[in-house]
Amino acid sequence: MKRLVFLTQSVDPAQPVLAATIPKIRALAARVEQVVVLAQSADGAQLPENVEVHTFGAATRPGRFAHFERELARALPGDAVVAHMIPLYVLLAAPQVRPRRIPLLLWYTHWKASAQLRVAEQLATAIVSVDRRSFPLDSAKVRPIGHGIDVSGYACADRGGRTGVHALVLGRYSPAKGIETILRAVGEVDGIDVELHGVALNELERRHRERLASLGFELGDAVPHEQVPDLLARADVLVNNMEAGAPDKVVYEAAAACLPVLASNPVFDELLAGYPLFFERESVPSLAARLRWFAALGDVERAEIGRVLRERVAQSHSVDTWADGILAAAT
């Protein structure tokens, strides 16, 4: 493939959530002659020489739309166009892309279906997602390609010889994350402490954070993506209680860092297969039982779980397998 156009919100290494897009762009650039990135904002990303970044930010929504269309017209023609996580980009791009018979892909992994997503599913030539279950619509266009984790950015820390269990929770302070169940379960198990980092992006999440704070645990703010590996290295286990559907990226990042994971979302069944790492999403006793089980494991057993999880991420969810999946879906 000679030229690929990539549509995304942000290309910024300091952005806590979207910085993980940058290794994906690098992986695509290693496989095609040129990548043209159109982003609403961009700042300071170190990208290969064959990557061009153009922004379409504007003070108003109509202004952004007009700027987007102008930048896309300049970027075309291309061999494929990939919209990253934003169905609206498919709607905006389709009038210029589809008449040229250029493949128009949507990468999307979320548990909710919007009206825009339903239209985007019709307009896209292919849908790429982590798993068939991580796309909320029943569509024959879905191709599961894994999550796209930069495994090289995560090292297997030596967690042996520690006292107690240091649990880690990362993500937005949203009711969908099930953090209250986690905190109540931690409170029932001796020898477990928990560290939380997240962000409240809207009024619902701000109110939920206040409710969580009333439980007596310290709630940390979000950290830049580059600091996540250090948080994972300090932890003994990641606990994830995401609503069923789209899999949280942080679970795969933890696994890449050889960090055992306790999770409730069944979409992780292949990643966590063979170990009793699942708990019932809304059940405090279920998670408390899993925490007690984990606390009773020896250092060797915990390290073995971590190594197996890292191997599974490298095999099926690395940024390289992701990029290969994108290009396969575009042909």
Main-chain dihedrals φ then ψ at residue 97, nearest 5 degrees:
-90, -50
User: What is the band of 295 on the pLDDT scale with cuts at 50, 70, 90?
Assistant: very high
The mean pLDDT of 15-22, rounded to a whole number, is: 84
| 145-170: pLDDT as tens digits | 999 999 999 999 999 888 899 999 99
Is the model's pLDDT at 103 over the cut of 90? yes
Instruction: Pick left, alpha or beta for residue 274 (phi over 0 → left; psi -120 to 50 → alpha; otherwise beta).
Output: left
Instruction: Quote the pLDDT of residue 101.
Output: 97
Instruction: Quote the pLDDT of residue 263.
Output: 98
The mean pLDDT of 195-210, rounded to a whole number, is: 93
Is the model's pLDDT at 95 over the cut of 90? yes
Kindly provide the b/e burial profile for residues 186-204, where b requires at least 16 CB atoms within 10 angstroms of the residue's own CB. beebeebebbbbbbbeeee
For 152-315, the fitting CATH number among 3.40.50.2000, 3.40.190.10, 3.40.50.2300, 3.30.950.10 is 3.40.50.2000
Residue spans of the domains in the chain: they are 3-144, 152-315
Instruction: Quote the pLDDT of residue 73.
Output: 97
Q: What CATH architecture does domain 3-144 belong to? A: 3-Layer(aba) Sandwich (3.40)
Main-chain dihedrals φ then ψ at residue 208, nearest 5 degrees:
-70, -35
Is the model's pLDDT at 244 over the cut of 90? no
- pTM for the model: 0.91
Q: How far is CA 279 from CA 177, 275, 288, in A?
A: 14, 11, 9
Instruction: Quote the pLDDT of residue 17.
Output: 75
Instruction: Quote the pLDDT of residue 11.
Output: 94
| 34-73: pLDDT as tens digits | 999 999 999 877 899 999 999 999 999 999 999 999 999 9
User: What is the band of 180 on the pLDDT scale with cuts at 50, 70, 90?
Assistant: very high
Instruction: Quote the pLDDT of residue 19.
Output: 84
What is the spatial distance between Cα 246 and Cα 244, in angstroms, rounded to a whole number? Answer: 7
Is the model's pLDDT at 194 over the cut of 90? yes
User: What is the band of 112 on the pLDDT scale with cuts at 50, 70, 90?
Assistant: confident
Of 16-25, 165-174, 189-198, the poorest mean pLDDT is in 16-25
Same fold, 3-144 and 152-315: yes
What is the spatial distance between Cα 271 and Cα 251, in angstroms, rounded to a whole number? Answer: 9
User: What is the band of 187 on the pLDDT scale with cuts at 50, 70, 90?
Assistant: very high
